[in-house]
């Protein structure tokens, strides 16, 4: 295996090996690299299949996994085993999904908890991390095939509004795909880099990045100062994009042809054909004034003028978001130095004109809007690889800093390669009723299990008021200053109890030890992630067992004998399967118990409401 050298003061990796930039998108993903001769970023087009890889994963009957265009074809024929838009689920709990859970055509496990969502396809359970890893694997393989070299390292982009757990999930997906993720970069930052903004560290700029894709819209306002991009504000709509334009065209054709919407609803093939035709019309209208075609006997004609009238409300909504983002950043349009267009839907002339008009200057649209984020990620990868001698790298932390959570897992708080000074935090809670102390163990390293990492400190947060499990809110904050000193503080928010320690993470570590720790994390990446998943499944199962057992103790009078017997059987099944270490078996048993017992909670709640009402006397 190749040796990785790392410069501790800059975090730069000193090795001539290709590092790719990846845009892991909701609908489409791309991988790019810096061409060794032209030194320009190029999106990889392997085997002439195009640069765009649809972010769709299909599981075939015989256990194969297909990704991309080929998988997309199964969206209509086998929706239960064809997963799309997985980015919307990354780092989310079922509760986070709320009203949007019906949007998905596949089964999302409803364990109605703070736990992360899981997807069921056939008899297997997948986390959004595993599914994203399948997409990343495909991109990696295409890059390796096209460039004829192994690809082990990448920079991956995420939306500016992604929170810590969504970013961590993206890192884990990379790891699972066999990639060392050098940095997670904001998509608008990558788009700016692609236009050459941010390369010169003396440049000071305020930038608006307008990103209108197929299904999502976001606007980010960034400020560039001393080589650092800062996100001033973001706004958007995660369910607005080019698909809505296609739907507007279809509705227009339905009206013009006096079709009955109900008959259309029954004819899936016709629906699909109309959808494709509408997208074709929309794209054509970006070049021409009029479009005419037919689907069976249905006239599919539309002028650009009519199209613009139909999409005016969609465009207006995006401008409202821009106004909001500008307000949040406390800026006026004239204070924006550059506007950058990202996403296929910015090819619509009306979108380009309206955005340019709002900001009072022509937007940048010379690069391919589908590729711009991946191209910028490739530039960031090149900077990190130390290939660009003209660019100064800022001080970064060479190893991840985090704390131990349930099952001995490492929960990273400040990921490696973060610029310092930096501050990050996360909220935790108790796992047992009446728990009054919480042990905070601070670790450094890249491995998923803390026992493989380096322990930096440990302290007890004492005096948490006795509350049911899950009630206390403990904020753990990591503050790493410019001298590399880490302050860790833990605060229980309800009571205000507080405790802190200070450590110097780099103390006593030589460069070669850091190097060894990085190498180990790369060699063990896959087994580490699998071990993490089993531990997570087991933790979910243990919590479920605890809750259901307590529920039975307290509320068995409201259940029938048959129900109690069934619950006990399912509890036993779960307890029996727990030591197996088989993640799918464990999650299946959790799912069965959940499905069987979830109506009980509602029933008991109704009874207690009734009792409470009955207890209230009317004077």
Nearest of 368, 424, 359 to residue 397 by alpha carbon:
424
Max distance between CA atoms of the chain, in angstroms, equals 88
155's tokens: 């920079």
CB of 106 or CB of 291, closer to ligand AMP: 291
606's tokens: 């109704």
Tell me the sheet residues that pair with 156.
22, 184
Interaction residues for ligand AMP, span 489-528 (CB under 6 A): none
End-to-end CA distance of the chain: 82
172's tokens: 């884990």
Interaction residues for ligand AMP, span 105-144 (CB under 6 A): none
Distance between CA atoms of 404 and 407, rounded to whole angstroms?
8
| Paired sense of beta strands 153-158 and 180-186, if any | parallel
Per CB under 6 A, the segment of 317-325, 342-350, 391-399, 589-597 that binds ligand AMP is: 342-350
Shortest reach from residue 307's CB to ligand AMP, in Å = 10
Binder of ligand AMP out of 179, 348, 440, 574 (CB under 6 A): 348
Binder of ligand AMP out of 142, 347, 447, 583 (CB under 6 A): 347
Shortest reach from residue 159's CB to ligand AMP, in Å = 12
Residues 46, 130, 172, 187: which is the catalytic one? 187
Per CB under 6 A, the segment of 165-173, 344-352, 562-570, 599-607 that binds ligand AMP is: 344-352
| Paired sense of beta strands 57-59 and 65-67, if any | antiparallel
Kindly state whether residue 282 participates in binding ligand AMP, applying the rule CB under 6 A.
Answer: yes
Residues 23, 246, 448, 452: which is the catalytic one? 23
Residues 111, 134, 180, 211: which is the catalytic one? 211
Shortest reach from residue 30's CB to ligand AMP, in Å = 9
Helix (H, G, I), strand (E, B) or coil at 334: helix
Distance between CA atoms of 448 and 274, rounded to whole angstroms?
48
Binder of ligand AMP out of 7, 15, 238, 286 (CB under 6 A): 286
Active site residue 111: no
Interaction residues for ligand AMP, span 12-51 (CB under 6 A): 27-28
Shortest reach from residue 420's CB to ligand AMP, in Å = 34
CB of 159 or CB of 213, closer to ligand AMP: 213
CB of 279 or CB of 337, closer to ligand AMP: 279
Distance between CA atoms of 488 and 207, rounded to whole angstroms?
34
Shortest reach from residue 186's CB to ligand AMP, in Å = 16
Tell me the sheet residues that pair with 98.
none
CB 6 within 8 A of CB 398: yes
Q: How many residues does the chain have?
A: 619
How many residues touch ligand AMP under the rule CB under 6 A: the total is: 17
CB of 279 or CB of 563, closer to ligand AMP: 279
Interaction residues for ligand AMP, span 408-437 (CB under 6 A): none
Kindly state whether residue 403 participates in binding ligand AMP, applying the rule CB under 6 A.
Answer: no
Per CB under 6 A, the segment of 138-146, 337-345, 393-401, 551-559 that binds ligand AMP is: 337-345
CB of 120 or CB of 347, closer to ligand AMP: 347
In 478-515, which positions are buried (b, 16+ CB within 10 angstroms) versus exposed (e)? bbbeeebbbebbbbbeeeebebeeeeebbeebeeeebb
Distance between CA atoms of 469 and 333, rounded to whole angstroms?
49
Shortest reach from residue 25's CB to ligand AMP, in Å = 6
CB of 28 or CB of 166, closer to ligand AMP: 28
Kindly state whether residue 540 participates in binding ligand AMP, applying the rule CB under 6 A.
Answer: no
SS percent in the chain: helix, strand, coil, step 5: 45, 25, 30
CB of 27 or CB of 418, closer to ligand AMP: 27
Per CB under 6 A, the segment of 343-351, 397-405, 592-600, 607-615 that binds ligand AMP is: 343-351
Nearest 5°: the CA angle 362, 367, 371 is 130
* HSE of 355, CA atoms in CB hemisphere, 13 A: 30
* HSE of 238, CA atoms in CB hemisphere, 13 A: 15
Residue recorded with tokens 């990202």? 342
CB of 29 or CB of 127, closer to ligand AMP: 29
Using the 8-state DSSP alphabet, how is residue 364 labeled? B
70's tokens: 């080929």
Residue 56, phi then psi, degrees to nearest 5: -125, 135
Shortest reach from residue 250's CB to ligand AMP, in Å = 13
CB of 197 or CB of 351, closer to ligand AMP: 351
| Paired sense of beta strands 338-342 and 205-212, if any | parallel
Binder of ligand AMP out of 170, 345, 397, 453 (CB under 6 A): 345
Distance between CA atoms of 339 and 196, rounded to whole angstroms?
13
CB of 33 or CB of 352, closer to ligand AMP: 352
Shortest reach from residue 344's CB to ligand AMP, in Å = 2
Shortest reach from residue 171's CB to ligand AMP, in Å = 23
Shortest reach from residue 28's CB to ligand AMP, in Å = 4
CB of 236 or CB of 344, closer to ligand AMP: 344
Active site residue 460: no
Active site residue 297: no
Binder of ligand AMP out of 68, 188, 343, 376 (CB under 6 A): 343
Kindly state whether residue 283 participates in binding ligand AMP, applying the rule CB under 6 A.
Answer: yes
Shortest reach from residue 24's CB to ligand AMP, in Å = 12
Distance between CA atoms of 397 and 163, rounded to whole angstroms?
20
377's tokens: 């990620």
Active site residue 353: no
DSSP for 475-534?
A: EEEEEE-TTS-EEEEEEETTT--EEEEEE-TTTT--HHHHHHHHHHHHHTHHHHHHHHHH
Distance between CA atoms of 550 and 557, rounded to whole angstroms?
13
CB of 188 or CB of 472, closer to ligand AMP: 188
Distances (CA, A) of 247 to 22, 53, 97, 282, 537: 30, 23, 24, 11, 40
Residues 46, 72, 87, 371: which is the catalytic one? 87
Interaction residues for ligand AMP, span 195-254 (CB under 6 A): 213-214, 241-243
Binder of ligand AMP out of 130, 237, 370, 446 (CB under 6 A): 370
Distances (CA, A) of 210 to 92, 241, 245, 304: 25, 12, 17, 22
Interaction residues for ligand AMP, span 245-264 (CB under 6 A): none
Shortest reach from residue 543's CB to ligand AMP, in Å = 37
Q: Which residues are the active-site residues?
A: 23, 87, 187, 211
Interacting residue ranges for ligand AMP, rule: CB under 6 A: 27-28, 213-214, 241-243, 279, 282-283, 286, 343-345, 347-348, 370
């Amino acid at each position: 295996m190749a040796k990785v050298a790392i410069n501790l003061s800059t975090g730069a990796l000193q090795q001539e090996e290709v590092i790719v930039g990846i845009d892991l998108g909701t609908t489409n993903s791309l991988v790019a690299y810096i061409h060794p001769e032209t030194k320009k970023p190029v999106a990889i087009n392997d085997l002439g299949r195009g640069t765009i890889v649809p972010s769709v994963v299909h599981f075939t009957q015989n256990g194969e996994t297909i990704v991309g265009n080929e998988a997309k074809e199964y969206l209509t024929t086998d929706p239960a085993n064809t997963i799309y838009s997985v980015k919307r689920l990354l780092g989310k709990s079922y509760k986070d999904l709320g009203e949007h859970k019906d949007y998905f055509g596949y089964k999302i496990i409803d364990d109605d908890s703070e736990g992360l969502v899981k997807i069921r396809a056939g008899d297997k359970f997948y986390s959004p991390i595993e599914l994203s890893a399948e997409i990343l694997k495909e991109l990696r393989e295409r890059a390796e095939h096209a460039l004829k070299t192994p690809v082990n390292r990448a920079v991956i982009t995420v939306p500016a509004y992604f929170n810590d757990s969504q970013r961590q999930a993206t890192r884990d997906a990379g790891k699972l795909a066999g990639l060392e993720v050098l940095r997670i970069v904001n998509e608008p930052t990558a788009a700016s880099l692609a236009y050459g903004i941010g390369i010169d560290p003396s440049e000071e700029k305020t930038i608006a990045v307008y990103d209108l894709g197929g299904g999502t819209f976001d606007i980010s306002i960034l400020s560039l100062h001393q080589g650092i991009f800062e996100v001033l504000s973001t706004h958007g709509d995660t369910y607005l994009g080019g698909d809505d334009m296609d739907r507007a065209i279809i509705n227009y054709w339905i009206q013009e042809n006096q079709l009955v919407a109900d008959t259309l609803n029954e004819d899936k093939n016709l629906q699909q054909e109309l959808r494709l035709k509408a997208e074709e019309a929309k794209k054509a209208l970006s070049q021409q004034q009029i479009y005419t075609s037919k689907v069976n006997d249905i006239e599919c004609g539309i002028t650009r003028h009519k199209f613009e009238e139909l999409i005016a409300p969609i465009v207006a909504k995006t401008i409202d978001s821009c106004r909001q983002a500008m307000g949040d950043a406390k800026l006026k349009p004239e204070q924006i130095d550059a506007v950058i267009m990202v996403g296929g839907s910015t090819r619509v002339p009306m979108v380009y004109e309206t955005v340019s008009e709002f900001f009072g200057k022509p937007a940048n649209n010379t690069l391919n809007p589908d590729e711009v984020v991946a191209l910028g990620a490739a530039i960031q990868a090149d900077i990190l690889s130390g290939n660009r001698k003209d660019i100064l790298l800022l001080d970064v932390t060479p190893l991840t800093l985090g704390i131990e959570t349930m099952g001995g897992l490492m929960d990273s708080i400040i990921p490696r390669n973060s610029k310092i000074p930096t501050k990050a935090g996360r909220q935790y809670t108790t796992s047992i009723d009446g728990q009054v102390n919480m042990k905070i163990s601070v670790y450094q390293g890249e491995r998923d299990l803390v026992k493989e990492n380096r322990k930096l400190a440990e302290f007890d947060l004492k005096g948490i008021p006795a509350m049911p499990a899950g009630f206390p809110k403990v904020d753990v904050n990591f503050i790493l200053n410019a001298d590399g000193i880490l302050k860790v503080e833990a605060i229980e928010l309800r009571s205000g109890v507080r405790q802190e320690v200070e450590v110097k993470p780099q103390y006593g570590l030589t460069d070669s030890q850091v190097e060894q720790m990085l190498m180990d994390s790369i060699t063990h990446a896959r087994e580490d992630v699998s071990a993490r998943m089993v531990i997570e499944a087991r933790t979910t199962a243990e919590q479920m067992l605890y809750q259901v057992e307590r529920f039975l103790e307290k509320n068995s009078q409201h259940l029938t004998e048959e129900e109690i017997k069934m619950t006990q059987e399912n509890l036993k099944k779960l307890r029996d399967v727990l030591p197996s270490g088989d993640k799918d078996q464990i999650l299946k048993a959790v799912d069965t118990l959940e499905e069987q017992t979830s109506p009980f909670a509602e029933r008991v709640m109704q009874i207690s409401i009734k009792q409470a009402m009955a207890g209230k006397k009317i004077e």
